A = this chain, B = another copy of it.
Amino acid sequence: MRKALAIDVGGTKIYNTIVNEKGEIISEIEKRHTPKTFAEIKQIFKDIIACHEDEVDVIAFATCGAVNNSNNGILGSTGNIASEYPTMDFSALSTKKKVFVENDANAAAWAEHVIGASKGMPYSIMITLGTGVGGGIILGNKLYKGKNGAAGEMHFKMRTDKHRQCTCGSWDCFEAYASGTGLKLTAEEISKNPDITTYDVIDGWKNNDVLMTKIFNQWQNDILEGLIGLANLFDPDVIVLSGSMAEFVDEKYLTDAVNKEIVTTPTKVVKGIAGNYSGMIGAALLALGVDSVGGSNG
């Protein structure tokens, strides 16, 4: 069975493992801190590839940042990783094996589509709720990337009065409300306590604390408002919520509430099941040309 060396590149950690064409992780997961400099990042990539490329058929990166439609380079900014990172020439990293690169959220959406929560459904939107928010859109069983590869950014406005600045530099994006960071900011606003943490809210909500439940519900309702817009724009089979914060949301409540408000046809809101390493799995499946309908994506 064919295999990919999968490498997940985030602003704080770099992971790697080997994934087969069934989407199974078949070796140990290695983990490193993402170094500060571009030179050190490149060295880590070279070390990982040198160590493992003889074991695999292809090298698959799941990376922060939008990836161009040729799946070989990065478009624009990438958050808190070294500023030269977008100049990386991924294809030059190995002379022996083909190198494939995809945005991490797109890759995770593909993993859910092929082996996870949106399996068998041609139209899906995946949203990762973590420190930030990522997005991946599958339309007609294909990863949707837009004209250059940057599509699927969950930066649409939740209000228009410049209330909360987003990490993207603009104001009041979905990310600024639906993320873990957004939950903390909502908690600060409602509790008037600048030291309140996401953990405080989740812990209090689990223990039926009235104030923490109010904060949690406001956060979940903001997510709901965003999902309504996505369902009306895309008429998807399913919206998949994954990432560290997704475990707390109520799928049934969100499904019912979305379907009560939309003008398009009924959809579902479910939690992702492809796991914490879905980015590596999805990148590997894409690199190996594995899709959900017995063909390749493209």
Binding site for B on A (CB under 8 A): 66, 75-77, 121-123, 135, 137, 139, 144-161, 168-170, 173, 221-222, 225-226, 228-230, 232-237, 261-265
Contacts and interface: CB of A to CB of B under 8 A. Distances in A.
A170 B232 CA distance: 12
Contact of A235 (B146, B160, B235): B146
A150 B267 CA distance: 12
B155 A235 contact: no
Given A155-B262, A265-B148, A160 B225 contact: yes
A221 B160 contact: yes
Contacts of A236: 146-147
In the complex, the count of this chain's copies comes to 2
29 contacts: A76-B264, A76-B265, A77-B263, A121-B147, A122-B147, A139-B139, A139-B144, A146-B234, A146-B264, A147-B265, A148-B235, A148-B264, A150-B235, A150-B264, A151-B233, A153-B232, A153-B235, A153-B262, A153-B263, A153-B264, A154-B232, A155-B228, A155-B229, A156-B156, A156-B229, A159-B160, A169-B261, A173-B229, A233-B233
B221 A76 contact: no
A122 B69 CA distance: 14
A230 B139 contact: no
Given A170-B261, A261-B170, A233 B123 contact: no
Contacts of A263: 66, 76-77, 150, 153, 155, 168
The 4 closest A-B pairs by CB, nearest first: A146-B235, A156-B229, A150-B264, A151-B235
